[in-house]
Amino acid sequence: LELTVGKKGPKLPVSPDDAAIRPVNLARGRLFYDHRSMHIFAVLLSRQLRQPVVDLTGLTGFYDFHLEYAPDDPSGAAAADSSPLPDIYQAVEEQLGLHLEAKKTPIDIIVIDRADRVPIAN
């Protein structure tokens, strides 16, 4: 997925330079990250979406990310329209002013093709 700035521009509050990094506030359907760079947000977002997210926003600095969305129901028991909240893709667009789009993009991958155990003296 590519993360870019939406058509209307970003809606992110800039985090003050002296702001301390608070613990991440994660709950089902909520992502609250304070004082994070756009690159770090893309990494954290990729963990939620379980696929790589590449930051192509060009935004520098630190921001406060507060995102609320309708979580996916892995059991499929709940209807898709049962929540008043948008899905994560719409939430990123509406609440943060960013756009997520699936595209084929080159990414860096580390491949370990062999690992030998080296004896170490006690």
Residues 30-41: tens digit of each pLDDT: 888 888 899 999
Residue 83: predicted pLDDT: 63
Chain mean position to CA 1: 10
- Which of the residues in the chain have pLDDT under 70? 19-26, 73-83
